[in-house]
Chain A
Amino acid sequence: MYDFFSKERSAAYLKIDARQCIEEKGGNLDYYGLSSLRIDEPVAEQLEIMEGLLPCPELPFHMPMMELPGGHVADLHFFGDGGSVWLLFLDATPERDHQQRLQQKAYEMTLLQERERQLNAKLQSTNEALRESQEGLSREYRRAESLLLNILPASIAERLKADEQIADSHAEVSVLFADIVGFTERARSVGATTTLAILNYFFRAADLLSEQHGCEKIKTIGDCVMAVAGLPVARSDHAHALAHYALELRESARRERFAGEPLSLRIGIHSGPIVAGVIGKRRFVYDLWGDTVNLAARIQKAAEPDEIRISDATHELLGPDFACDPLGETELRGTGRVRMWRLRG
């Protein structure tokens, strides 16, 4: 039995006395790099693993797989024998190496799995952040777009986004101007809040109706609204569309009362060629230019309260579809004598 352990497991032993000095030694101590241990000297000073272990309150005591100075691995067994302790070394190098190979694979696999989980979690949170910022970006974009659409016709806004220069000639459009009769005096008497309510109501009505009739409200100047039909997409019934627009705008002004009084409008329409374009780089303005625009403005100024006054050119386009009264020729500033009509309905 001892031969078996001695040969197969390189058995070696130490006997340590009550003073913790080596009392006896034997077996294959050389195998563990321990052949120089001296009898009768303190064990802990010669064999570091013994530091703090003695006196050992619980014997026998087993400490597996300890790598020793010679590089070999031993299972250590401590036995009590009266006041002495036997320390038996049995070789465990092959077992340790075998177990290490298995353990190594298992831990490497576990580490890889942990790393994969971490990377996946990171990927997921990165994706999440990316998605959120994309959503934020497209929200911003939609907001910018809707702001742009508020001040420009949709097709013009599209072309502007494509960085196009916009200046288009339109041979046939109708242009309308409308303002509130006696607005300045009225504003003075009703105060700021009511004045703002009046303008808000009037401009909102102008906006809503231009959507309904396929017209474009181009801009407001003080209490004056400028609208156009036949833009940016040409249409042959531009005069009809704007005539309907004018009639309904006048009607909605009459319907609402402010400080007890309804709104009364002065409206003028003229038809002809114009140039439309966007000016400005940071703050875009879509506007119309040309004699047609100027004449429409003059006709509007000449109109009576509650009157929709149209030029001869517009009247001709409307034909027999609308009831109109002739007004005869009138002298307009900067234009000479102009034939005009009153649109009734």
Chain B
Amino acid sequence: MLQKKICMLGGFAVGKTSLVRRFVQSIFSENYLTTVGVKIDKKSVAFPDKTVDLILWDLAGEDDIGSFRVSYVRGATGLVLVVDGTRPATLAVALTLRERCEAEFGAMPFVLLFNKSDLTDRWAIPEGEIDELKQRGWQIYLTSALSGEHVDDAFRQLASMVAK
């Protein structure tokens, strides 16, 4: 059995829980309910040669990065970094959280999700900035937990990265 722990990381209200719900249950709710502590979900991702069970740790979002409990990430083999595309400051939060995890547990595969791509009129991340990050070789997706756009792509990509 190929089972991998994945942590959802990002600022508060960027859509971590909604992305997990969209990916695991294919549903979306407009209501915002903040996560406290951690909730775990599981979803199998099938590839031609193998099936990977992703154990998704949906961690509480952060307002103050200083309070982040890096210990939750112990044992993780991959990260889903989530940014709210309508709130530019959440990019720095996601990148800082990744740095803290790498400092504690070493480098691990990750995907970077710019979420809420359905909110085009409020979108606040310039395309050039995203292109710049892509040039670092990062796996970046513009996702919408509401419409489901690119959500499966992003999780499948991470699954293939951690299954290697």
Which A residues lie at the B interface, using CB under 8 A? 44-45, 48-49, 51-53, 56, 61-67, 73, 92, 96, 99-100, 103-104, 106-108, 110-111, 114, 118
Contact = CB atoms under 8 A, between A and B. Distances in A.
Contact of B4 (A45, A51, A64, A73): A51
B138 interface: no
B37 interface: yes
A108 B13 CA distance: 9
Contacts of B37: 64-67, 73, 92, 96
B143 interface: no
Contacts of A100: 33-34, 36
Contacts of B75: 51-53
20 contacts: A44-B3, A45-B3, A48-B3, A48-B40, A51-B5, A52-B4, A52-B5, A52-B74, A56-B74, A62-B71, A65-B36, A65-B37, A66-B38, A66-B40, A96-B36, A99-B36, A104-B32, A111-B13, A114-B87, A118-B122
Contacts of B72: 63
A103 B36 contact: yes
B163 interface: no
Contacts of A48: 3, 40, 42, 55
B88 to A, nearest CB: 10
Given A65-B37, A103-B34, A111-B13, A52 B71 contact: no
Contact of A107 (B12, B71, B77): B12
B76 interface: yes
Interface residues of B, number: 30
Specify the main secondary structure of chain A where it touches its partner.
Answer: helix
A92 B5 CA distance: 23
Nearest to A61: B71
A67 B76 CA distance: 18
Contact of B34 (A62, A65, A67, A107): A107
Q: Which 7 A-B pairs have the closest CB atoms?
A: A52-B75, A65-B37, A67-B39, A52-B5, A100-B36, A53-B75, A51-B5
Interface of B: 1, 3-5, 12-13, 32-34, 36-40, 42, 55, 60-61, 63, 69, 71-72, 74-77, 86-87, 122, 124
Given A45-B3, A52-B74, A63-B72, 8 more contacts: A49-B40, A63-B38, A63-B71, A66-B40, A73-B37, A99-B36, A103-B34, A114-B87
A73 B36 CA distance: 10
A118 B122 CA distance: 9
A118 B90 CA distance: 14
A49 B122 CA distance: 37
B36 A51 contact: no
A154 B34 CA distance: 69
B125 to A, nearest CB: 13
Contacts of B34: 100, 103-104, 107
B24 to A, nearest CB: 13
Contacts of A110: 12, 63
A112 to B, nearest CB: 11
A103 B61 CA distance: 11
A53 B38 CA distance: 15
A55 to B, nearest CB: 10
Contacts of A118: 86, 122, 124
B11 to A, nearest CB: 10
Contact of A104 (B5, B33, B38, B76): B33
